[in-house]
């Protein structure tokens, strides 16, 4: 295991750990860590925003379809976020907020007490 100390600013340092013993450059270790962080962000966004883990189907084909749909939703949300200069979380919250307001104004299902 190798540990690299990276100076972020005059008041702050970060540490990057790697199990790649051939790694000798702090800059390369930091760059690799940045790539890994992007992957972590992708997994977190995919799970939190698309409900990818909520599939309870047993058949592999249906699971694959669910995963594919979740990936398409994430891709579309990410595209809209880039175009509107907002976060992917703001986009989803806005969509849900708009839907909720529309349903409160004109409910799709009438609640009638008998």
* 12-56 pLDDT, tens digit each: 888 888 887 787 878 887 788 788 889 999 999 999 999 898 888
Mean pLDDT across the stretch 65-76?
94
**Cα separation, 22 vs 8, whole angstroms:** 24
Q: Looking at residue 25, what is its pLDDT?
A: 79
- Which positions ≥6 away from 23 have C-beta within 8 Å? 2, 4, 29, 32
- Asked if residue 2 lies in contact with residue 20, where contact means CB atoms within 8 angstroms, the answer is yes
Question: Per the structure block, which two tokens stand in for 91?
Answer: 């986009």
pTM: 0.68
């Amino acid at each position: 295991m190798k540990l690299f100390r990276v100076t972020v600013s005059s008041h702050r340092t970060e540490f990057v750990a790697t199990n790649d013993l051939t790694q000798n450059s702090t800059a390369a270790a930091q760059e690799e860590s940045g790539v890994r962080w992007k992957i972590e962000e992708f997994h977190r966004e995919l799970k939190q925003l698309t409900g990818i883990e909520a599939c309870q189907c047993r058949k592999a084909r249906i699971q694959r379809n669910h995963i594919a749909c979740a990936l398409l939703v994430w891709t579309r949300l990410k595209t809209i976020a880039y175009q509107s200069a907002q976060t992917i979380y703001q986009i989803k919250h806005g969509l849900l907020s708009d839907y909720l307001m529309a349903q409160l104004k004109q409910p799709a299902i009438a609640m009638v007490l008998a």
